[in-house]
Amino acid sequence: MPPPLITARSLVKRFGDLVAVDGIDVDVQPGEAFGFLGPNGAGKTSTMRMIGCVSPVSSGRLEIFGLDPAHEGRAIRSRIGVVPQLDQLDQELTVMENLVIYARYFDIPRAVAQSRAVELLDFVQLADRADDKVDPLSGGQKRRVSIARSLISEPELLLLDEPTTGLDPQARHLLWDRLHQLKERGATLVLTTHYMDEAEQLCDRLVVMDGGRIVAEGSPRALITEYATREVLEMRFGRGRNEERVDDVLGVGERVEVLPDRLLVYVADGESALAELHARSVIPESALVRRSSLEDVFLRLTGRTLVD
Amino acid sequence: MITTRILPSALLDVRSPQRLLERNAMVYRRSWMVIFSGFFEPLFYLLSIRIGLSALVGDIEVGGKLIPYDEFVAPGLMAAAAMNGAVLESTMNVFHKWRQAKLYDSILATPMSAGDIAIGEIGFAVIRGLMYSTAFIFTMLALGMVKSAWIVMSVVACALIGFAFASIGMAWTTYMRSWADFEYVPAVTLPLFLFSATFYPLSSYGSWSWVVQLSPLYHGVVLVRASNLGEWSPSLVVHAGVLVGLSVVGMAVTASRIKTLLLK
Ligand SMILES: Nc1ncnc2c1ncn2[C@@H]1O[C@H](COP(=O)(O)OP(=O)(O)O)[C@@H](O)[C@H]1O
Ligand SMILES: [Mg+2]
């Protein structure tokens, strides 16, 4: 196996007394799409900023391309592309100028910057907006400009902090599609998300973060196999009455989770579990069977839902 | 090394500050009228002084020589223009880019460093001040107020003034929390403009002249005045030294503030 692009050992980030990242171990291999999945405040952005060499490591070891961010930050930053959690596009410049000046920060010659910018705007389907200022663009379009901008230096590693948070479904799918294309071209992606479907869509491997720690690691499939069943039976008995029905449903599945508005029964075959409950005259107001997802993994690991 | 001990590491890591000039030029390319309109200011100032005040005030003695009042004031105004251009750019505009536009956050994610940003932005503010100073030179030429070919040296003097004020201005801006804090900027620059031997010679201040010498602008005014008259003396090195010293301190503070505030 080639040496990892990113190696973190007992990596810690502190802000005063607050421990934002609490001793994580991570290896990211070249060509991999790696995800940090976790709720708000889990420490995802803090981790990404340390990897991006814009935030000093509090303790532990971090290497990117085998280099130390404390001493070789400039060299590391010249080889990575960053899409920050909040778009930081240059409001005073046009879309095209944004890309060109960003390339100049990497010492890329102007002519090269121009031609790459044209290609990249084509890639993110914004060629027609090249000469517009950034401000009138929609959230999804700004995000795509940010991605195009992060690619202008042809980075070996791309860091995406919550690439689709706040976007409508259509804009998200367009973005996922572009990121898939990058993956197919062999790019190494590191992304954070609190969307399960996004992690399942994009990540080859991920870590689940909670409270600054890594609580699980693996491929989306492996995590679901390990921490959930194949299917989930979701039942609603009406607000406030879900809790008292737990005893009635115990035994039909491997595990039951109680949420304020519903009961989740983890079971390999949801339909037959539901049939069995009907036979026992346990009739919910509504029921549905779905495949289990990383959301269920997170619930299992932390006892909490990801997005509330 | 001594330099590493005196200067913070943030200021020693400077490689491509010119990228900030490039970026700002891209922005101003579209709004060049803003800068151009500033070119008329010197003309109005100098004309009004020549027409009105000169006749009233008469000649002024500088270094044992009598010169007309308008020729005395012009270098002072030129120095003040360098100061005002540099301060405007390094305070309000920097604050907007820093706090509102988050420009420096995005630049720091690239190979650019805190030192690059500090030097680049200060350099741009100096250039803006120099454009106004240069406008003064041409206006003075047109009005026949230029005494010596050494006037070209006033560009160097104005660059020193610009560096001192842009560096201190940007360093100060890193401590500002809201737009309200900018009320203090004119509260500082206006008295400097009025009391830096701009409008009357140092001797007029009598026993208070030492206060005037605390003004950084005063040291700049002396340098510009000497350039216009083409009269050089060793003491000018001290005046230049004050401006250089302020510049270095301001740049060092700015670079390390960017580092501690944005790279945390
Ligand atoms: N600059 C900062 N100063 C102080 N606390 C911070 C700072 N940045 C993040 N934190 C805190 O660190 C924790 C982790 O935040 P963050 O890394 O942004 O999480 P996430 O990206 O997973 O939502 C939070 O409690 C947050 O308030
Ligand atoms: Mg975050």
Give the ipTM: 0.90
- Number of domains within chain B: 1
3-class DSSP state for residue B42?
Answer: helix
- Residues with pLDDT less than 50, chain A: none
Burial of B247 (0-12, 13-18, 19+ CB in 10 A): buried
Question: Is residue B256 a part of any domain in this protein?
Answer: yes
At B211 the pLDDT is: 86
**A44 contact B CB<8A:** no
In a domain, B3, yes or no: no
Locate the ligand 1 atom nearest the alpha carbon of residue A46 and give its number. 17
Of A54, A56, A75, nearest to B108 by CB-CB distance is: A54
Q: Which residues of A54-93 are buried (b: 16+ CB within 10 A; e: fewer)?
A: bbebeebebbbbeeebeebbbebbbbbbbbbeebbbbbbb
Give the gyration radius of chain B's Cα atoms: 19
What value, to the nearest 5°, has the Cα angle with vertex B51 and ends B46 and B54? 85
In ligand 1, the atom with minimum distance to the C-alpha of B264 is 1
CA B44 to chain centre: 20
pLDDT recorded at residue A35: 97
Spell out the domain ranges in chain A. Answer: 6-218, 229-291
Gap between the Cα atoms of A210 and A159, Å rounded: 20
Given a cut of 50, the residues of chain B with pLDDT beneath it are 1-2
Question: Which residues lie closer than 8 Å to A87 by C-beta, 6 or more apart?
Answer: A142, A143, A145, A146
Contact B19 A105 (CB under 8 A): yes
Q: Which ligand is nearest to the CA of A208?
A: 1
Q: What is the residue range of B42's domain?
A: 16-262
Residue B4 lies in a domain: no
Judged by CB atoms closer than 8 Å, whether chains meet at B106 and A84 is answered as yes
Could you tell me which chain A residue has the CA closest to the CA of B23? A101
Residues 6+ apart with CB under 8 A from B98: B104, B173, B174
Please state the atom number of ligand 1 nearest to the C-alpha of residue A49: 17
* pLDDT given for residue B1 in this prediction: 44
In a domain, B207, yes or no: yes
Q: Tens of pLDDT along B1-52?
A: 445 556 777 788 899 999 999 999 999 888 777 767 777 777 788 888 888 7
Rounded Cα distance between A133 and A123, Å, is 19
In the CATH hierarchy, which top-level class contains the domain A229-291?
alpha beta
Q: How far, in whole angstroms, is CA A162 from its chain's centroid?
A: 6
Residue B8 included in any domain: no
Q: What is the C-alpha separation between A260 and A241, in angstroms, rounded?
A: 9
Q: Helix, strand, or coil here: B67?
A: strand
Mutation choice for ligand 1 from A18, A55, A58, CB with most ligand atoms inside 8 A = A18
Are B27 and A93 inside 8 Å of each other by CB? yes
Name the residue facing B264 among A55, A78, A91 (closest C-beta): A55
**Closest ligand 1 atom, CA of A45?**
21
C-alpha A180/C-alpha A175 separation (Å) is 9
Using the Cβ of A104 and the Cβ atoms of chain B, whether some distance falls under 8 Å is answered with yes
Q: Atom 16 of ligand 1 has which residue's CA nearest to it?
A: A43
- Exposed/middle/buried for A187, CB within 10 Å: 0-12, 13-18, 19+? buried
Q: Give pLDDT, residue A194.
A: 85
Out of A19, A36, A45, give the residue to mutate to test ligand 1, the one with the largest number of ligand atoms within 8 Å of its CB: A45
| pLDDT for position B14 | 93
3-state secondary structure chain A: CCCCCEEEEEEEEEECCEEEEEEEEEEECCCCEEEEECCCCCCHHHHHHHHCCCCCCCEEEEEECCECHHHHHHHHHCCEEEECCCCCCCCCCEHHHHHHHHHHHCCCCHHHHHHHHHHHHHHCCCHHHCCCECCCCCHHHHHHHHHHHHHCCCCCEEEEECCCCCCCHHHHHHHHHHHHHHHHCCCEEEEEECCHHHHHHHCCEEEEEECCEEEEEECHHHHHHHHCCCEEEEEECCCCCCHHHHHHHCCCCCEEEECCCCEEEEECCHHHHHHHHHHCCCCCCEEEEEECCHHHHHHHHHCCCCCC
Q: Does A92 touch chain B (CB under 8 A)?
A: yes
Q: Which of B13, B106, B259, B261 to mutate to test the interface with A (most CBs of A within 10 A)?
A: B106
**A11, A12, A15: which to mutate for ligand 1, most atoms within 8 A of CB?**
A15
Length of chain A, please?
308
| CATH number assigned to the domain covering A6-218 | 3.40.50.300
